[in-house]
Amino acid sequence: MNTQRIFEVVLIKATMATLWDALTNPEMTQQYWFNTRIKSDWHVGSKVLYVRDGELTDEQVVLAANKPHGFSHTFKPLFGEFKDEPPSRVTFSLEDSGSVVRLTVIHDSFPPESKVFRACSEVWPMILSNLKTLLETGQPLPNTASRRSPIGFQ
C-alpha cells in the first residue's frame, strides 16, 4: 500500500468566496505561489496550467469542481527530475467555520519513490502559509511572490 500522502489543514480568516478566488485566480496565485499564475476555467476535464515568467511549468486536469466548496486536479510537473513521473492528485476542500474558512489540502496518488512527494511535502506548508498571510494581512510573506521555491521545486 502506498502511504505517501500530504495532508494539510489551515484556518484562514476569509470568506469562502475570497478563498476560492485566491485559489483559482491567476492574479492572486502569483502573489503567494512563488510567482506562479494558475490558469483554468475550473470545469471537469479542463486543463490547469501553472505558468511562471511566461514558462509552462506544470499541466494538470480538473478532476472535480464544486465552487466554492473545493476542487481536485491531477498534479504533473513538466520540468527537471519531476517530468518523468506520472501525475498525482491534489484536492482542495473549503469549509465555512464561522469567521474562518477551514482549507484542507490532500495531495496523494503518488507513485512509489516519488520525487514529487518529497518536494511537495516541503513546499505545501510554505504555499499555504503564504496564502493565509496574504488573505489575512493583504500582503504576502516577504519575497515569496518574486522568487522560486527554496528547494528548487518550480
Inter-residue contact 28 to 41 (CB < 8 Å): no
- If you average pLDDT over every residue of the chain, what do you get? 91
**In this model, does residue 90 exceed pLDDT 60?**
yes
pTM: 0.90
Mean pLDDT, residues 10-28 taken together: 97
Query: What pLDDT score was predicted for residue 7?
Result: 98
Mean pLDDT, residues 114-130 taken together: 94
**In this model, does residue 109 exceed pLDDT 80?**
yes
Span 94-104, pLDDT tens digits: 999 989 999 99
Mean pLDDT, residues 12-39 taken together: 96
Domains, the chain, with CATH or none: 6-137 (3.30.530.20)
pLDDT grade for 152, boundaries at 50, 70 and 90: very low
Percent of the chain with pLDDT over 90: 84
**In this model, does residue 127 exceed pLDDT 90?**
yes
**In this model, does residue 154 exceed pLDDT 90?**
no
**In this model, does residue 65 exceed pLDDT 90?**
yes
Query: What pLDDT score was predicted for residue 144?
Result: 55
Mean pLDDT, residues 53-61 taken together: 93
Percent of the chain with pLDDT over 70: 91
